[in-house]
């Protein structure tokens, strides 16, 4: 029993002997295949194939130029599964058969033609083309669904990042614009450092949550206008751990996992004098090293109750002074090269 084949499949016959393509056409129509186009002029047939979609080509080999082999060569970039070719020819020696198949033909039928066998081969190729096309269309639709779902998830992650970033900024002395800038700045620095696009987008979403641990620090310490006592400083320095615990989850998303890493590491210093774990150099996660620079620079450029905003040049000089002490010196060099873009 034949599998169901689309009877509207576009079948093309190229054979310079008209009696041959009339025989093939009548046989195909008798089997229920009605969308058939025939060419006695091989050049005309090739031009049509190159300009139109088609499902199956029945191709003679021995014809005036272009012959079947040249047509195969000109069609070698087609999808062999979506647009199969069956060679139908009297050149039935093994050498020509191998050559035709090596040049991209899907099947080979020798003249004189066994019509029932030809129909079996035609239907087999059409089923292959039809199944491949349906699979490709299904994959395209699946990709669209994945893209839509990914966009929805990213929007959800963005909403979480915005909410947590705003919550942290309201508890401290920062502004929602500050935490948003940290994300944009971190993504730009990560890109200039050569990180993959996906990772740069993750850090853009994750970096605004770097100070979420501030929600666990009492206002009297968090908003104190003067210098903190040693005990108050010790309490304040617990906010990276609090932020990590808020964000870290064994079943978390890539965004919250990276945000937890940043929250824990963004107060570490290149020389090992930071907190909470006194990490040194490249033992500090790259995400933490990036956000440390972006956070300090943006904070310096903002006015505080106890000082005016620093100029871009003075802030840059400070970063350079602290390269190799507070900050990763390589990242400072990259960051300073981005200052015009960051200020804009």
Contact between 96 and 115 (Cβ < 8 Å): no
What is the structure's pLDDT at 173?
54
Coil, strand, or helix at residue 264?
helix
**Whole-number Å distance between alpha carbons of 327 and 324:** 6
Mean pLDDT by 10 residues, the chain (344 residues): 65 89 86 89 94 92 90 90 88 82 88 84 87 85 82 69 63 65 94 96 91 84 80 91 85 84 96 96 97 94 81 94 97 94 86
Contact between 184 and 206 (Cβ < 8 Å): no
**Whole-number Å distance between alpha carbons of 329 and 319:** 9
Domain match, 337 and 250 both: yes
- The count of C-alpha atoms lying within 13 angstroms of the C-alpha of 298, restricted to the half-sphere facing its C-beta, is 23
Q: Is 315 within the bounds of a domain?
A: yes
**Whole-number Å distance between alpha carbons of 187 and 205:** 9
For the beta sheet containing 56-59, the strands, ordered from the edge strand earlier in sequence to the opposite edge, are 36-39, 11-14, 56-59, 85-89, 107-110
Contact between 271 and 263 (Cβ < 8 Å): no
What is the structure's pLDDT at 24?
87
Q: Is 166 within the bounds of a domain?
A: no
Q: Is 57 within the bounds of a domain?
A: yes
Domain match, 308 and 240 both: yes
Cα–Cα separations (whole angstroms), residue 89 to 86, 92, 93, 254, 323 = 10, 7, 10, 59, 76
Cα 160 versus chain centre, distance: 23
**Whole-number Å distance between alpha carbons of 247 and 287:** 15
Residue 338's CATH number = 1.10.3210.10
Domain match, 204 and 338 both: yes
Rounded to the nearest 10 degrees, the angle between the axes of helix 254-265 and helix 286-300 is: 70
Domain match, 232 and 119 both: no
Q: Is 122 within the bounds of a domain?
A: yes
What is the structure's pLDDT at 157?
66
Domain match, 73 and 181 both: no
DSSP secondary structure code for residue 215 in this structure: G
Domain limits at 257? 172-343
What is the structure's pLDDT at 1?
36
Cα 208 versus chain centre, distance: 23
What is the structure's pLDDT at 2?
42
Residue 21's CATH number = 3.40.50.2300
Domain match, 177 and 285 both: yes
Into how many domains does the chain fold? 2
What is the structure's pLDDT at 171?
53
Domain match, 111 and 71 both: yes
Closest alpha carbon to 153 in 258, 253, 244:
253
Domain match, 217 and 336 both: yes
Q: Is 151 within the bounds of a domain?
A: no
DSSP, residue by residue, 147-214: HHHHHHHHHHHHHHHHHHHHHHHHHSS--HHHHHHHHHHHHHHHHHTT--HHHHHHHHHHGGGTTGGG
Closest alpha carbon to 58 in 93, 98, 100, 94:
100
What is the structure's pLDDT at 273?
96
Last residue within a domain, chosen from 94, 123, 140:
140
Q: Is 1 within the bounds of a domain?
A: no
What is the structure's pLDDT at 135?
86
User: Quick count: other Cβ atoms within 10 Å of Cβ 65?
Assistant: 7
Coil, strand, or helix at residue 336?
helix
């Amino acid at each position: 029993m034949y599998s169901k084949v689309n009877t509207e499949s576009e079948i093309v016959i190229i054979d310079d002997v008209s009696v041959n393509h009339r025989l093939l056409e009548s046989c195909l129509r008798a089997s229920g295949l009605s969308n058939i186009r025939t060419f006695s002029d091989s050049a005309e047939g090739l031009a049509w194939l190159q300009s139109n979609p088609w499902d199956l080509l029945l191709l003679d080999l021995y014809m005036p130029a272009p012959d079947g082999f040249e047509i195969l060569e000109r069609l070698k970039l087609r999808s062999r599964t979506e647009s199969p070719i069956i060679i139908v020819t009297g050149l039935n020696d093994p050498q020509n058969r191998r050559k035709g198949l090596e040049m991209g033909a899907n099947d080979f039928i020798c003249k004189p033609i066994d019509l029932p066998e030809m129909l079996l081969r035609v239907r087999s190729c059409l089923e292959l083309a039809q199944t491949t096309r349906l699979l490709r269309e299904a994959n395209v639709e699946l990709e669209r669904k994945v893209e839509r779902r990914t966009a929805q998830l990213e929007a959800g992650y963005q909403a979480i990042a915005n909410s947590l970033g705003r919550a942290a900024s309201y508890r401290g002395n920062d502004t929602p614009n500050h935490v948003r800038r940290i994300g944009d700045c971190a993504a730009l620095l990560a890109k200039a450092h050569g990180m993959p696009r996906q990772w740069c987008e993750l850090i853009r979403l994750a970096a605004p949550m770097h100070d979420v641990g501030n929600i666990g620090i009492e206002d009297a310490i968090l908003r104190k206008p003067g210098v903190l006592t040693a005990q108050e400083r010790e309490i304040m320095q617990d906010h990276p751990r609090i932020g990590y615990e808020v964000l870290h989850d064994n079943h978390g998303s890539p965004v919250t996992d990276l945000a937890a890493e940043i929250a824990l590491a963004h107060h570490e210093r290149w020389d090992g004098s930071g907190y909470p774990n006194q990490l040194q150099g490249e033992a500090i996660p790259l995400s933490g090293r990036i956000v440390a620079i972006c956070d300090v620079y943006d904070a310096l450029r903002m006015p505080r109750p106890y000082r005016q905003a620093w100029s871009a040049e003075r802030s840059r000089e400070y970063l350079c002074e602290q390269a190799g002490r507070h900050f990763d010196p390589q990242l400072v060099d990259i960051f300073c090269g981005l200052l015009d873009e960051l200020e804009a």
